[in-house]
């Protein structure tokens, strides 16, 4: 039986589909949810003449916190409305699939509910599939929403 479900979300409508499924399942099983959003680390760009800063580190971190809150908001609202316990995590990583797997292990999750954007062909090759990477690198059961 599932007792702790990890729900990674990027704020997209497809992710919100996984959110709805996770909340419904958690409510029925009296499980706890762990919401996760992964932000990009501060980009360090250099030129031949030294560092090129597009925005300050402080401004970037503030923007990432705001985006993370926006990504997690639908999950927080849905969990509260359903009376489901929720813990939220924000991680900064250049490798979202690794952050997903690490969070699942760190939080003791026994399943992962996540969305797949359904990319295939050249688009999947160029952009990669975080869902596919999670599926191939974890032994934790994953339910994929499309």
pLDDT digits 0-9 by tens, 102-143: 999 999 999 999 998 755 555 544 445 899 999 999 999 999
pLDDT of residue 55: 82
The domain spans of the chain are 4-145
Give the number of other CB atoms < 10 A from CB of residue 91: 18
> Global pTM?
0.88
As a dihedral over the C-alpha atoms of residue 108, residue 110, residue 115, residue 119, rounded to 10 degrees, the angle is: 100
- pLDDT tens digits, one per residue of 34-51: 999 999 999 876 555 555
Q: Does domain 4-145 have CATH number 3.40.50.620?
A: yes
């Amino acid at each position: 039986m599932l007792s702790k479900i990890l729900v990674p979300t990027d704020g997209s409508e497809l992710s919100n589909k996984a959110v709805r499924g996770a909340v419904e399942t958690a409510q029925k099983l009296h499980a706890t949810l762990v919401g996760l959003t992964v932000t990009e680390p501060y980009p360090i760009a250099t030129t031949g003449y030294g560092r090129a800063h597009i925005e300050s580190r402080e401004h970037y971190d503030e923007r990432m916190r705001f985006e993370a809150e926006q990504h997690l908001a639908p999950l927080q609202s849905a969990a509260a409305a359903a009376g489901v316990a929720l813990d939220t995590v924000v991680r900064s990583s250049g490798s979202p699939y690794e952050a997903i797997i690490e969070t699942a292990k760190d939080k003791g999750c026994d399943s992962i509910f996540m969305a797949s954007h359904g990319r295939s062909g050249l688009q999947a090759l160029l952009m990669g599939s975080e869902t596919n990477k999670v599926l191939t690198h974890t032994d934790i059961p994953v339910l994929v929403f499309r």
